[in-house]
Structure 1
Amino acid sequence: MVRYRRNRIAGATYFFTVTLRDRRSDLLVREVDALRAAWRAAAKRVPHVVIAAVVLPDHLHAVIRMADATADYPRLWQDIKKGFTRRVVPAGGRSPWQPRYWERTVRDEAELQALVDYVHINPVKHGLVETVAAWPHSSVHRFMARGVLPNDRAGIGDVKTGTGEP
């Protein structure tokens, strides 16, 4: 078995991309409530703070600050994937997830801001909506509602705030 070397730093912030096996699927948005429930359950076991996140039909992006001494994000993603799979796949069925994920350690504030912008603009980049505020499964709504993110950030333009969470 291949053992991946991952950079695990207590309290560090990471950028993740997690994808489904079938890149044509819309399972994540169709079953977004199951994903949220799985994520909430995993958060009870692996402390972390979601800085920014977006759920797209076949993949998701998240910027997460680990809040535990072990920075056990591999367990976090394992718990989220298993919890989601148990909620949406019949017993004995194949996991919809690709077995691995992509992660990057965030090095500084400039990179953090760039990654948060990337997360929020992703639905527009993929042609799913014309404005980031139009995508319901994004943390951009929290940023805009709190006034943390101005309306012209990351190509947002003149949009109205909505409600929603990843």
Structure 2
Amino acid sequence: MTEYRRHRFQGGTYFFTVNLADRSQTLLTDHIEILRESFRTVKQKHPFTMEAIVILPEHLHTIWTLPEGDDDFSLRWRQIKSEFSRHIEIAEKISNSRIRKSERGIWQRRFWEHRIKDENDFARHVDYIHFNPVKHGHVTTAADWPYSSFHQYVKRGIIPANWGGVAGLENDLNLG
């Protein structure tokens, strides 16, 4: 079996996908304030810059830039997941392997990361993040989804408020 190796770059910028174990749950949006506080708590101890984010009911996408000399995004995700889980009532099925490791059954154990290579790669992933609620059928325009950095991008004049509602835009994002 091949061992999975994460691509680490100190001070790097990364795109992440993090999922709930049970993708039929809506814990992330049902408990949005707990999730936000979990991010704030971990950022205080282990700083990073959140460049973009979207939180959907059962998964999230985000782009982070880590401080110079730091490549430990795994520590941050472990702590965010743990902080969130501590504040959620136990209602999920917990497997024997998770019980042996003193884990909850809320999150998928792994997450997916991609190191952002350049400005074009960054822009494509920000677009992907902001269009994701439309892609998944939660809303008809990106502006309609409240749990997204889309609104900060509009306030800063980076993208127009009517961006992300055009049919077929997902094909233009071309993330492969």
Superposed pair shares fold, TM > 0.5: yes
Q: Partner letter of residue 113 of structure 1?
A: A
Q: Which runs of 5+ in 1 are unaligned?
A: 158-166
Do 2:20 and 2:59's aligned partners in 1 also have CA atoms closer than 8 Å?
yes
What aligned pairs does 1:50-89 form with structure 2 within 5 A after superposition? 50-89=50-89
Distance of 1:47 and 1:65 partners within structure 2? 9
Q: Which runs of 5+ in 2 are unaligned?
A: 92-101, 168-176
Distance of 2:68 and 2:108 partners within structure 1? 26
Deviation at 1:95, TM superposition (A): 3.2
Identity of counterpart residues, as a percentage?
A: 41
Match of 1:130 in 2: 140
CA deviations 1:38-71 (Å, max 9, x no partner) are 1101101221111100000000000111124121
Match of 1:26 in 2: 26
What aligned pairs does 1:41-120 form with structure 2 within 5 A after superposition? 41-90=41-90, 94-120=104-130
Distance of 2:8 and 2:47 partners within structure 1? 14
User: Does residue 6 of structure 1 match 2:16?
Assistant: no
Deviation at 1:156, TM superposition (A): 6.3
Q: Count matched residues.
A: 156
Do 1:15 and 1:61's aligned partners in 2 also have CA atoms closer than 8 Å?
yes
Deviation at 1:149, TM superposition (A): 1.6
* Over 6 Å off, 4+ runs: none
CA RMSD of aligned residues (A): 2.1
Deviation at 1:90, TM superposition (A): 3.7
**The structure with more radius of gyration:** 2
Deviation at 1:94, TM superposition (A): 2.5
CA deviations 1:98-121 (Å, max 9, x no partner) are 000000001111010000000000
**Which SS does the other structure have where 2:61 is aligned?**
strand
Do 2:141 and 2:164's aligned partners in 1 also have CA atoms closer than 8 Å?
no
TM-score, structure 1 as length reference = 0.87
Q: Partner letter of residue 119 of structure 1?
A: I
Match of 1:164 in 2: none
Do 2:18 and 2:112's aligned partners in 1 also have CA atoms closer than 8 Å?
yes
User: Does residue 139 of structure 1 match 2:149?
Assistant: yes
Distance of 1:127 and 1:34 partners within structure 2? 24
